[in-house]
């Protein structure tokens, strides 16, 4: 009997500790998990873009409380009297699949939701499942619009270029290039400088926390070209760099999806990279056509030892 009482008391204590943790310490009221065939950074960007759409379509105002490493983002959402907290965690399973867990907390009705969500299909539970499912479906539709193929280790070619130095948020790099395309191509035409290859984008610096980039928009020209002084257009040699390479197919507005794929690949295979991608666009988007046939070569250099 004594042994039996000890066992009962032991299990009771464990249950009591679990109950206290579940009701008062656990960070979320309800969690939803799923897997997606894409990189962690693509999902991270998708969450932020989805949040902006939710503001327009559903009047839900999302504020980012914390984010890091393209695999964690914590948000607060307000809509009228509704006050929610969403914690998104992304974990790369292999070179192509990411596991996503969404922790959801209703800041007005947390205790009620914790007591009911495991056992009943409450309005809170149903609404959150629908919301996350809609996000997942939208993300799956997005990743149908591009393809990334990891090519492994490789070296870029040395190239002499004319370039413009630009700064933008990561999501607007392509728009920034398009807006400034006429400046550099016009300068080259006016000075009878022939473009002899497809353009490059060279990242000078990438602030992962602020998601801003400083980059050079480059056009290959003959290395014997006479240097012409200009306030905006400069000339330089892009050196050959060794790193991890990928081929990207899709709109150049979202070619950073290849960057994220390479970062995940490097993490999974113990490579150390310097966050300075180099892109070589092999198609001309001004010619139109099927975006899935637009090709770009991407390389991220190995970190210097």
Token pair, residue 168, equals 């933008």
Task: Check: CB of residue 295 under 8 Å from CB of residue 279.
Answer: no
Q: Could you read off the pLDDT of 237-281 as tens digits, one per residue? A: 999 999 999 999 999 899 999 999 999 999 999 999 999 999 999
Q: Is the CB of residue 58 less than 8 Å from the CB of residue 108?
A: no
Q: How confident is the model at residue 2 (pLDDT cuts 50, 70, 90)?
A: low
CATH superfamily of domain region 148-301: Regulatory factor, effector binding domain (3.20.80.10)
Q: What is the pLDDT of residue 20?
A: 45
Percent of residues, the chain, with pLDDT higher than 90: 73
pLDDT tens for 180-211 read 999 999 999 999 999 999 999 999 999 988 89
Q: Which CATH topology does 26-138 take? A: Alpha-D-Glucose-1,6-Bisphosphate; Chain A, domain 4 (3.30.530)
Task: Give the SS3 label for residue 41.
Answer: helix
The pLDDT of residue 4 is 58
Q: Which 3 state secondary structure label does DSSP give 43?
A: helix
* pLDDT exceeds cutoff 60 at 11: no
Q: What whole-number distance in Å separates Cα of residue 62 and Cα of residue 177?
A: 29
Domain boundaries, the chain: 26-138, 148-301
Query: What does the alpha-carbon distance between residue 79 and residue 56 come to, in Å, rounded to a whole number?
Result: 12
Average pLDDT over residues 109-116: 75
Asked whether the predicted pLDDT for residue 167 surpasses 50, the reply is: yes
Verdict on whether the full-model pTM lies above 0.75: yes
């Amino acid at each position: 009997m004594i042994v039996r009482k000890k066992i009962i008391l032991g299990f009771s204590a464990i249950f009591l500790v679990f109950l206290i943790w579940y009701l008062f310490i656990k960070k979320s009221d309800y969690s939803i998990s799923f897997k997606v065939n894409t990189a962690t950074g693509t999902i991270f960007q998708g969450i932020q873009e989805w949040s902006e759409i939710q503001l327009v379509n559903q009047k839900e105002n999302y504020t980012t409380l914390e984010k890091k490493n393209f695999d964690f983002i914590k948000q607060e959402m307000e809509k009228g009297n509704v006050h929610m907290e969403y914690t998104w965690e992304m974990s790369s399973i292999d070179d192509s699949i990411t596991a996503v867990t969404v922790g959801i907390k209703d800041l007005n009705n947390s205790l009620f939701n914790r007591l009911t969500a495991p056992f009943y299909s409450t309005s809170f539970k149903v609404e959150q499942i629908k919301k996350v499912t809609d996000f997942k479906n939208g993300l799956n539709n997005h990743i149908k619009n591009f393809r990334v193929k990891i090519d492994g280790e490789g070296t870029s070619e040395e190239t002499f270029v004319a370039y413009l130095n630009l700064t933008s948020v990561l999501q607007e790099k392509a728009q920034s290039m398009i807006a400034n395309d006429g400046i550099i191509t016009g300068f080259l035409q006016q000075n009878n400088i022939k473009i002899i290859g497809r353009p490059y984008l060279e990242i000078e610096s990438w602030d992962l926390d602020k998601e801003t980039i400083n980059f050079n928009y480059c056009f290959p020209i003959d290395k014997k070209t006479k240097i012409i002084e200009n306030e905006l257009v400069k000339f330089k040699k892009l050196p050959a760099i060794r790193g991890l390479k990928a081929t990207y197919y899709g709109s150049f507005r979202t070619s950073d999806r290849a960057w994220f794929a390479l970062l995940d690949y490097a993490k999974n295979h113990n490579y150390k990279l310097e966050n300075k991608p180099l892109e070589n666009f092999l198609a001309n988007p001004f010619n139109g056509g099927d975006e899935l046939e637009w090709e770009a070569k991407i390389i991220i250099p190995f970190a210097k030892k």
